[in-house]
Amino acid sequence: MKKLLLAAVIFMFIGGAAHAQLKKGRIVISAASQLSGSFNTIDLDDADESIKINTFSFSPGIGYMITDQITAGASLAFASLSLKVDDEESTTISALTLSGYGKYHFTKPKSDADVKSNSFFPYVTLGLGYVTGKLDSESMGEPKISGLSYGGGAGIDYFLSNSVGLTLGVNYMAANLELKDEDMKMDAGSLSFI
C-alpha cells in the first residue's frame, strides 16, 4: 500500500499546456491543470477492497524563446491526491514540484503570419525537477516525501491564433522519491497523453 501511495505522487503531475509565439526573445506562458476522480474495486488475496481516488493538480510555467525553435523555462506544480480504502482508511498526498525544461520545435515559422497559416509545430521536450510534499495517512502518520523528477515527451503545438496555442502529445515522467521517517525509497514512472 505504501508503494501505491508513493506512485500516486508521480501521476499527479500530468496535464496539457497552452502557450504560443514561436519567435526568439518572446516569453512563453503555460498552464496545465487536472481534476479527476475514480472508484475502483480491487480483489487482493480474495479480499474485495473498494478504493476511491480523487486528484487535482495545477502547474503554471514560464519560458523564454532562446531561438525561434528552442524554449527554456521553469514550472511550479501543485498536486493533491486523496485515497480512501473501503470508506475506512484515508490518505492524502500534497506535493509541490519545481522544474526546469527545454523544448525544441522541429519546424520554425517564417513569420508571425506563418504561425496562423501553418498551425502545427512538432516538438520534443526534456525536464528535470525536485518534488517535495507530505503524506497524511491514518496508518503512517505524516511523513515527508522528496526526490528528483525527470522526464521527456513529444507532441504537436497547435496554434489557434498568433498568440494562443494548445499542446497535444505524450509524456514520460519518472521520479526517485524518498519517504522520510519510513526509511523507504522508490523509483516510479508514468506515461501520459496530453
Phi, psi of 66 (to 5 degrees): -70, -40
pLDDT values of the chain reduced to their tens digit, one per residue, 194 residues:
454 444 444 444 333 343 446 778 888 888 776 555 554 555 555 556 667 777 777 888 899 999 988 999 999 988 887 877 776 777 888 889 999 999 999 987 666 655 665 578 899 999 999 999 887 877 777 778 899 999 999 999 887 777 777 888 888 888 888 877 666 776 666 666 66
DSSP label at 111? S
DSSP 147-166: EEEEEEEEEEEEESSSS-EE
Grid coordinates representing 97 are 514540484
Per-residue confidence (pLDDT) for residue 186, from 0 to 100: 67
Q: What is the C-alpha to C-alpha distance for residues 33 and 16, in angstroms, rounded to an integer? A: 7
In Å, the largest CA–CA distance within the chain is: 63
Residue type, 146: S
Q: What is the C-alpha to C-alpha distance for residues 81 and 172, in angstroms, rounded to an integer? A: 20
Is 53:105 a contact under the CB 8 Å cutoff?
A: no
Strand partners, 48: 43
Is 28:69 a contact under the CB 8 Å cutoff?
A: no
Per-residue confidence (pLDDT) for residue 128, from 0 to 100: 96
DSSP label at 88? T
Per-residue confidence (pLDDT) for residue 46, from 0 to 100: 55
Phi, psi of 187 (to 5 degrees): -110, 130
C-alpha angle 104-121-10 in degrees, rounded to nearest 5: 60
Per-residue confidence (pLDDT) for residue 183, from 0 to 100: 66
Per-residue confidence (pLDDT) for residue 13, from 0 to 100: 39
Instruction: Specify the residue for cell string 519518472.
Output: 174
pTM flag (> 0.85): no
Per-residue confidence (pLDDT) for residue 148, from 0 to 100: 93
Is 3:93 a contact under the CB 8 Å cutoff?
A: no
Which stretches does DSSP call E strand in 45-88? 47-65, 70-85
